[in-house]
Amino acid sequence: MDIKEVTASVSDELKLFRERYKSVLHSSNSLVDKVSRYVLRQQGKQIRPLLVLLSAKVFGEVGDSAYRGAIMVELLHSATLIHDDVVDGAEMRRGIPSINALWKNKISVLIGDYLLSKGLLYSLENNDYRSLHLVSEAVKRMSEGELLQIQKTRSLDITEEDYLSVIADKTGSLIATSCAIGAASATSSEEDIASLKSYGEYLGLAFQIRDDLLDYTGDSKKTGKQLGIDIKDRKITLPLIHALLHSEKTEQNRIKSILKSSKQRAVRSRDVIAFVREKGGLDYAATVAEGFASKAIESIAHFPENDARRSLERLVDFVMKRQH
């Protein structure tokens, strides 16, 4: 399945979004402009602006406020990715060197701050207060989620509940916000806005669980990520949490002793992957993701059957089937 099947119903709108986004990123400061142009090159699938546009189009209309919302969420998403790469010391982002690899941490932290404030300022200038409320809450949830993750992962005692709370904050919040901003730009029905927001929250959960599963099952050539890199980084995700919970104490201790040592994690990540597979951790995580995917589709089932709604449904499929 190709992302184009999802984007077809808003391809003109996406094109217009990209043009406007590019001009918003332009800066009179030559360094900022250079880094910004590089940010554009690093662009991923732009799922968040896509969701803003689709969530508006479900109600028939993609107006200026939707475009501005799309630009704001993409600015904030880019800002958080740049800070994430600093935080993780990541060398690569989507197959090309990360901003921090090329310009060092100093400039990366500042460019992140700059894009963050630019996004907020852009909405303020246009008096999009509703969008601002939605997005500021998301920014706060994102940093809280990251912090909770760091805290929980360290002690290796993260529960499924903690994990879900972390990914809801880290990934679900901005995706849910994107949908809510799009909906709010085209309807005044609070109920409908809430439905789209739920769709986004569930989609975000399904997306992150699938993403975490790819660390165990992905083809590193396609994902661009080394298999088991989360294990090496001591990121404990759902498959491993489930496997640890459903194993004997002695086996738990064997795996935990690997996880505690960075050297052991580096050389024995394959053992951990085999353990997780054997204990049914992969199947379990896939089932949980399926559950959220269904809930996402249910959340929008009462809307009129139009192209935009179908695209939102296809996006859930795309997320569930993606191999990279």
Residue 39 phi/psi, 5-degree rounding, is -55, -40
Kindly state whether residue 37 participates in binding a copy of itself, applying the rule CB under 8 A: no
Residue 91 phi/psi, 5-degree rounding, is -90, -30
- Could you tell me which stretch among 119-127, 155-163, 179-187, 239-247 binds a copy of itself (CB under 8 A)? 119-127
> Which contiguous run of DSSP H or E holds residue 164?
helix 160-167
Q: Mapping DSSP to helix (H, G, I), strand (E, B) and coil, where does residue 26 land?
A: coil
Pick the closer one to a copy of itself by CB: 47 or 116. Answer: 116
Pick the closer one to a copy of itself by CB: 139 or 231. Answer: 139
- Could you tell me which stretch among 57-65, 116-124, 176-184, 279-287 binds a copy of itself (CB under 8 A)? 116-124
Structure tokens at 115: 């894009």
Minimum distance between the CB of residue 86 and a copy of itself, rounded to whole angstroms?
6
Q: Report the 10 Å Cβ neighbour count for 306.
A: 13
Provide the β-strand partners of residue 97.
92
Kindly state whether residue 106 participates in binding a copy of itself, applying the rule CB under 8 A: yes
Kindly state whether residue 129 participates in binding a copy of itself, applying the rule CB under 8 A: yes
**Amino acid of residue 148:** L
Kindly state whether residue 261 participates in binding a copy of itself, applying the rule CB under 8 A: no
Kindly state whether residue 136 participates in binding a copy of itself, applying the rule CB under 8 A: yes
Pick the closer one to a copy of itself by CB: 137 or 317. Answer: 137
Kindly state whether residue 170 participates in binding a copy of itself, applying the rule CB under 8 A: no
Provide the β-strand partners of residue 92.
97
What is the residue-wise DSSP string for 239-281?
HHHHHHHTS-HHHHHHHHHHHH-HHHHHHHHHHHHHHHHHTTH
**Closest-CA residue to 197 (of 168, 177, 170):** 177
Provide the β-strand partners of residue 93.
96
Which of 37, 140, 256, 324 lies at the binding interface for a copy of itself (CB under 8 A)? 140
Kindly state whether residue 83 participates in binding a copy of itself, applying the rule CB under 8 A: yes
**Site residues (vs a copy of itself, CB under 8 A):** 29-32, 80, 83, 86-88, 105-107, 109-114, 116-118, 120-121, 124, 127, 129, 132-133, 136-137, 139-140, 142-144, 146-148, 150-151
